[in-house]
Structure 1
């Protein structure tokens, strides 16, 4: 990846794409996404069966952490405690309040898997460069509206809605498509042995 596109995941506030690359609007360079990686872990294998991201809220982060299983990530974002669990549809987390399920999440073979949660924000019109991941990138929108362009077309998700991820290697461009600022939580399932994000071209 070109050096100008590298970001540090340890920064308190990172300007970059949801993909982890520099992100600005092509028509208004001042517009940009603010990205904050808030949780990640590596796992040796995926749960059996069709996969979904289950999103729960908890009264405190400590309670979310206590309820986290081997394929779950606890984090604080937007003033709330969250638990993101990768597993079968229809599961539950004791003590939590389910917010949404996102999926199905494409599964794929890999020597090791990376689960990562980012928080993302962008003013109307801000967009990522076209990029790919060695896995899927799913979304839950808190405020505003999120747009995603892929070779399959353009999709949108408004506040309170979800958008499931595509399979590995899918070229995509993510953008703030509403009239108010976008805030979203982004769930990644990726091959941990490959570069997390790579520049691409839209066919």
Structure 2
């Protein structure tokens, strides 16, 4: 099986590489169209800022390539956000694989409620689990988040997290899968999600 990690200027690649190595999976880190198209599985990770990452993708025409892929594709963190329609982060038009917008968490709070920190950083539970990537997971399993922006809950949501507001922790449409959290550093739960993806 050929697994490709898409190479672009959004970090976090090293931890994904380590996670695949722990699973005994070989991989290729590349931005070459032919290599990506010939892969059995494609992973699109990312940390950082949406508009800069999208500009890099457009320069290399990866913004056209990724939505056209037919094999299973997994986007994580900023990778997931770039697969959505639009991000409020620097008013960024994204790839539109998922027909949903990414919105910033509000920094204000209602009277009487605890003030939640933004960015949302650390372990939190996910619920309303659906789809093949969540096979074997318990409802309210814990995963690791680092983000200030999140996609709303929509028909393509396959896991929900509650922080400031309910948001899409995972998405799925056709051959495209996505996780807002960092599966590669989410312990046994994240490892199971990656295993499930590699078995698709």
- TM-score past 0.5 threshold: no
TM-score, normalisation: structure 1: 0.30
Higher relative contact order (CA 8 A, sep 6+): 1
Question: Normalising to structure 2: TM-score of the pair?
Answer: 0.30
The structure richer in helix per residue is: 2
Which structure: greater strand fraction? 1
